[in-house]
Amino acid sequence: MIYCPKCNALIQTAGLNSGSFLPCPVCQTQNQTWLFPEAVNDTEAVRESENLMIRDDAGCFYHPTKQAVIACDACGRFLCALCDVEMDGEHICFSCMSAGKEKKTIKNLENSRFLYDALAVRLALFPVVLFPFWFFSLITAPAGLYISIRHWNSMSSIVPRRKKLRFVVAILVSAMQIAAWGVLVYFFVSNKWD
Amino acid sequence: MAQDPETYIKLPGKRRRIIVGRDTAYLSPDHLLTIESSGFSEQYKRYYFKDIQAINIIKTRKATITNSILLVLMIGLSVWGAFLYPGEMAPLSVFLWIISAVMLVYFIMNAPQGASCEVWIHTRVQKEKIPSLYASRIVNKAMKILVPAIEKVQGTLGGENLKNARNKLYFKKDDQFTPGTRVKIPRVQQTGGSLIWHRISFPMTMISGALIAVAIVYRPPLFLAFASIWMLSGFAVAVVAGAVQTRTGLSGTVKAATWASAGAYLVILVIGYVETVVGWVTMASELDPFQTQNQWEMFKVYSKMDVLGTPWMFWLNTVQASILMMIGAAGLFLFYKDQNR
C-alpha cells in the first residue's frame, strides 16, 4: 500500500507513474507517485535451511545439523542457507560481516565516518574567517597541522572527495599562522632585549 | 566487496543547513546513498533499488511562506534602517541593512528553485524522506536519473502490469482498502544521541536574553562579568547540542532551532567584540592601556555606560535580548512537543 506521507491516507490510483500531481483524498496535498514492481511482489524473502539428510553431507559451521549450501567468500567456512549473507554478489557469514563492519572493510555496512580533512581545514581557517578571534590560532594552527599530518592516509568520505587538497590547504594555512606567531614572538623578544 | 568511491554519481540537489552541515544524495549501481553531513562527520543511509516499492513526491508551501516572510522582513528592516540613518542611530541602521542584505542573498538563491517539495521513499519496512531533494526543479532533474536506475534493477510497471498492480494494492480485500483510507504507521524512535545538551541549551538561551534585557538598566561590573561568562557558556552548550543532535532523532525544526540559537550567540558575541574594539578606538584618550588589557577594568568602564540614554545601544540590546528569548522559548516549546509526540 502506498500512502500519503502527510496524513497516511491511501493515495489516488489514477495518477500512478504518470508524472502528474494529484491531490490526496484526505489532506489535499499534491502527490506524484512512482510505483515499482517490488510494491506488488508477494515473494516471501524467508529462506529455510534444509536439515542434514545424509551423514556424509557437509554441514554448516554454525548449525552442524543443517546442510551447507555455500562457502563463505571471506573465511571459507561452510554455511547453510540461513547463515549465508549475500552482499554485492559475494557470500559471507555473519562473523565475517560483523568483523568487516568493525574493521570498516565493508563500506556498504558503514553508516558514519569522521572527516579529518574537514576538521583540519576548519581549524586552519577558523582564525582567518573569524578574524576577531585570531588569537585562537595559537591553538588551532598547530592542531590543524598535526591532524593533517597524522590523518594524511586516514579514510575520508565514502563518496569522491578532495581529501588531499583539503589537507594541503590546512597545512599551508596552519604553517603560515605558526610562522606569523614565530615572527611575532621574535620581534617581542628582540625588542624587549634591546 | 567494498564499494569503490568512484562508482558513486552525485544526484542533483544539495540542502545546506542553517550554520553547518548539508544533505546530499549519491547513486551507485545498486543503491541510493543519502549523506547527512554535520561538517566534521557524515551519516549514511542506503536504499537498495531492489527494495524500493514506490517514490512519493509531495508539494509543500515551505518555499512560498519562507520567501514571503523574507521579503516582508527585508523590506521592513530596510525601511526602518532608512528612517534611522541620519544622526545618532546610524550604526543601528547599518546593522539593519546588513541583515537585509543577507536576507536578499538568501532570497535570490532560493527563489529560482521553484516550489518546495518532499521526496519520500517507500520500502517494505520503512518510509523515509530524502532531504537533499527539496525543490521541484531539483526533483525533476533527480527523478530523470533515479527512476530509470530503479527500473533497470526491478523492471518497469506500466500498461496492464500497472493496472493489475493497482487492483492488487487497493482492492484485494473486498474494497476494504480504497483511496482515502487512513493507515496507522508505527513511529520508529531513533536513539543514540544524548538530549541533555538540548535540555540545558534552550533555557540557557532564554536566560541569556533576559540577562541582556536586565543589563540595559542594571549594569554593575559583577553582573556584566556574570552575563558574559553565562553567554559564552550558552554558546558552547548550543554548539555541542548542535554537534551531537545528528543521531538523536529530533525533528528538523528542533535541530534548526538549536543551530539558530548557536548562530544568534555567535552574532551577538561578534557584535560585542566589535563594540569593544570601537570603544578602544573612540575612548583611547580617556582609557589608560592598563584598563584595555584588563577585562575587569573594562567591565567597570562598561558599567558606567548609559544604555538607556544612547538610542542605538538601547535598540541593539533590545533586539539581541528579544531574539535570544524568542529562540530559546521556541526551541524549548518545540523540543518538548517533539518529546511528547
Give, for A188, the enclosing helix (H) or strand (E): helix A163-193
**Residues B60-96 pLDDT 10s:** 888 888 888 889 989 988 988 888 777 777 777 888 8
**Sheet arrangement for strand A22-23:** A22-23, A30-35, B52-59, B117-123, B127-129
Q: Does one domain contain both B287 and B245?
A: yes
Segment among A136-140, B32-36, B46-50, B85-89 with least mean pLDDT: B85-89
Q: State the total domains in chain B.
A: 3
Q: Are residues B133 and B224 in the same domain?
A: no
Write out chain A residues lying below 8 Å of B156, CB-based.
37
In a domain, B183, yes or no: no
> What CATH number is associated with residue B128?
2.30.29.30
The residue of B11, B51, B58 whose CB has the most chain A CBs within 10 angstroms, and thus the best one to mutate to test that interface, is: B58
Give the residue extent of every domain in chain A.
Answer: 1-43, 44-110, 116-193
- Measured CA to CA in angstroms, residue A192 lies from B292, B293, B302 at distances of 21, 19, 32
| Statement to judge: residues B253 and B141 lie in one domain | no
The ranges of chain A with pLDDT < 70 are 1, 42-56, 192-194
B110 pLDDT exceeds 90?
A: no
A-to-B residue pairs, Cβ atoms closer than 8 angstroms: 180
- Please report the sign of the dihedral spanned by the C-alpha atoms of residue B246, residue B250, residue B254, residue B258: negative
Q: Which of B155, B180, B212 is the last residue of a domain?
A: B155
Inspect the interface and report whether the beta carbons of B41 and A114 lie closer than 8 Å. Answer: yes
Cell of B162: 500497472
Q: Label residue B27 by pLDDT band (50, 70, 90).
A: very high
Chain A interface, mutation test: which of B42, B121, B247, B270, most A Cβ atoms within 10 Å?
B42
Q: Identify the H or E element spanning A30.
A: strand A30-35
Range of the domain at B81: 63-113
**Contact assignment for B166 to A13 by CB distance below 8 Å:** yes
Length of chain A: 194
* 2.120.10, 3.30.450, 3.40.50, 3.30.40: CATH of A44-110: 3.30.40
Sign of torsion, CA B8 B14 B17 B20? positive
Complex prediction ipTM: 0.79
Domain identity same for B106 and B125: no
* Average pLDDT taken over every residue of chain B: 83
Nearest CA in chain A to B25: A159
B266 inside domain:
yes
Confidence of residue B287 (pLDDT cuts 50, 70, 90): low
Question: Same domain for B54 and B69?
Answer: no
CB-based contact B8 A160, cutoff 8 Å: yes
> For residue B166, is it within any domain?
no
Query: Do B18 and B103 fall into the same domain?
Result: no
End-to-end, the C-alpha distance of chain A in Å comes to 84
Alpha-carbon span A102 to A41, nearest angstrom:
34
Please indicate, yes or no, whether residues B99 and B210 belong to a single structural domain of this protein.
no
Q: Which of B2, B52, B147 sits opposite A107 (nearest CB)?
A: B2
Residues B146 and B206 both lie in one domain = no
Q: B145 and B260: one domain?
A: no
- Interchain CB distance below 8 Å, A7 and B182: yes
Find chain B residues with C-beta within 8 A of A74's C-beta: 1
Same-domain pairing of B37 and B100: no
pLDDT tens track for A110-137 = 888 889 999 999 999 988 887 777 888 9
Count of other CB atoms within 10 angstroms of residue B292: 16
Inter-chain residue contact B3 with A158, CB threshold 8 Å:
yes
| B42, B59, B157: residue with CB nearest A35 | B157
Judge: B179–A13 Cβ closer than 8 Å, yes or no. Answer: yes
- Sign of the four-CA dihedral B322, B260, B72, B275: positive
Interface test with A, best of B1, B133, B156 (most A CBs within 10 A): B1
Does residue B328 share a domain with residue B265?
Answer: yes
Looking at the domain assignment, is residue B188 inside a domain? no
Task: Inspect the interface and report whether the beta carbons of A74 and B180 lie closer than 8 Å.
Answer: no
Q: Please tell me whether residues B20 and B141 are part of one structural domain.
A: yes
Record: contact B177-A10, CB cut-off 8 A: yes
Which of chain B's residues have a Cβ under 8 Å away from the Cβ of A160?
5-6, 8
Note the pLDDT of residue B174.
44
